[in-house]
């Protein structure tokens, strides 16, 4: 009797369920001059017509989630990113006024100056970078989604050296300090930070000097050694800033 009721219940739920699946793309941009920015689109249609929002949209029947988020991001902003990491699934019943929508959010970190020419199409009227400290009012629950993404990013850069990809191939150590201070949104102890980073053995100090900015003697340039990092990681190295 219990099994029959369970089968009936599952069948009934399946026939009455009305849930759509969407994806959202949180793209963080970084530049030494502008700091941390967020890529947003202006919605062309209701709900929230004219409001700024995270790029995203509905998953098509033939698509994987990854294919859908890459397509939506490119259609609405003109930005193509080969890898976005899954963040979280947001699914409160009242998060969208149209119907019940589950949204699987993804996030990535890029050099914003590599994506300055944005192109909004489909249901996006415009696309732009916004400094993460000066964001406009956002549609839906996108402010909450961004807050979750920011916390994940800050946690990630402490345990993985993802920030090196945002720097020039050869960089002064001060650029790395500025990057971490900006992403974490707090000052760092410069001496302890350098001592900690250099202790991992994943930075090569080069026999090249940084360009002088007129404020003292220029220091040497550095370069991230990804080969060494991968080897140390396999040997059990624990990266933590």
Residue 213 — pLDDT band, cuts 50, 70, 90?
low
Residue 5 — pLDDT band, cuts 50, 70, 90?
low
For residue 81 the two structure tokens come to 């990113």
Q: Which residues are CB-neighbours of 37 under 8 A, at least 6 positions away? A: 28, 29, 30, 31, 112, 129, 130, 131, 132
Q: Which residue has the higher pLDDT, 165 or 85?
A: 85
pLDDT tens readout for residues 87-108: 999 999 999 999 999 999 999 9
Q: What is the residue-averaged pLDDT of the chain?
A: 91
Asked if the model's pLDDT at residue 80 lies above 90, the reply is yes
Question: CA 178, CA 32: separation in Å to the nearest integer?
Answer: 8
What pLDDT is attached to residue 128?
97
Measured between its terminal Cα atoms, the distance across the chain in Å is 58
Q: Which residues are CB-neighbours of 155 under 8 A, at least 6 positions away? A: none
Per-residue pLDDT averaged across 61-83, rounded? 95
pLDDT tens readout for residues 109-161: 999 999 989 999 999 999 999 999 999 999 999 999 999 999 999 999 999 98
What pLDDT is attached to residue 221?
96
Residue 83 — pLDDT band, cuts 50, 70, 90?
confident
Question: CA 30, CA 36: separation in Å to the nearest integer?
Answer: 5
Residue 7 — pLDDT band, cuts 50, 70, 90?
low
Lowest mean pLDDT across 39-43, 194-198, 209-213: 209-213
Question: CA 228, CA 216: separation in Å to the nearest integer?
Answer: 32
Asked if the model's pLDDT at residue 2 lies above 60, the reply is no
* Omega within 30 of 0 (cis) for the link into 159: no
pLDDT tens readout for residues 26-60: 999 999 899 999 999 999 999 999 999 999 999 99
Only one residue has tokens 């899954």, namely: 86
What pLDDT is attached to residue 15?
63
Is 3.20.20.70 the CATH classification of the domain at 160-234? no
Domain ranges of the chain: 18-157, 160-234
Is 3.30.70.980 the CATH classification of the domain at 18-157? no
Give the distance between the most distant pair of CA atoms in the chain. 84
CB 69 within 8 A of CB 150: no
**Secondary structure string (H, E, C) spanning the chain:** CHHHHHHHHHHHHHHHCCEEEEEEEEEEEEECCCEEEEEEEEECCCCCCCCEECCEEECCCCCCHHHHHHHHHHHHHCCCCCCCEEEEEECCCCCCCCCEEEEEEEEEEEEHHHCCCCCCCCCEEEEEEEECCCCCCECCCHHHHHHHHHHHHHHHHHHCCHHHHHCCCCEEHHHHHHHHHHHHCCCCCHHHHHHHHHHCCCEEEEEEECCCCCCCCCCEEEEECHHHHHHHHHCCCCCCC
Residue 4 — pLDDT band, cuts 50, 70, 90?
low
């Amino acid at each position: 009797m219990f099994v029959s009721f369970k089968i009936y219940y599952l069948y009934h739920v399946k026939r009455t369920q009305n849930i759509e699946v969407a994806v959202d793309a949180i793209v963080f941009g970084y530049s030494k001059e502008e700091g941390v920015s967020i890529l947003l689109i202006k919605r062309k249609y209701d709900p929230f017509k004219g409001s700024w929002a995270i790029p995203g949209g509905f998953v098509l029947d033939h698509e994987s989630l990854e294919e859908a988020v890459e397509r939506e991001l490119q259609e609405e902003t003109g930005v193509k990113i080969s890898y976005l990491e899954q963040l979280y699934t947001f699914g409160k019943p009242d998060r969208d006024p149209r119907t019940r929508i589950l949204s699987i959010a993804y996030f990535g970190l890029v050099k914003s100056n590599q994506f300055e020419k944005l192109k909004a199409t489909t249901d996006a009227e415009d696309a732009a970078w916004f400094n993460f400290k000066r964001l406009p009012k956002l549609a839906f629950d996108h402010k909450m989604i961004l807050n979750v993404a920011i916390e994940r990013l800050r946690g990630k850069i402490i345990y993985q050296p993802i920030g090196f990809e945002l720097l020039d191939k050869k960089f002064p150590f001060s650029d790395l300090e500025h990057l971490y201070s900006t992403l974490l949104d707090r000052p760092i102890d410069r001496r302890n930070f350098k001592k900690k980073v250099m202790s991992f053995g994943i930075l090569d100090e080069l026999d090249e000097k940084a360009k002088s900015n007129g404020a003292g003697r220029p220091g040497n340039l550095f370069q991230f050694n990804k080969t060494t990092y991968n080897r140390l990681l396999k040997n059990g190295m624990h990266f933590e800033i």
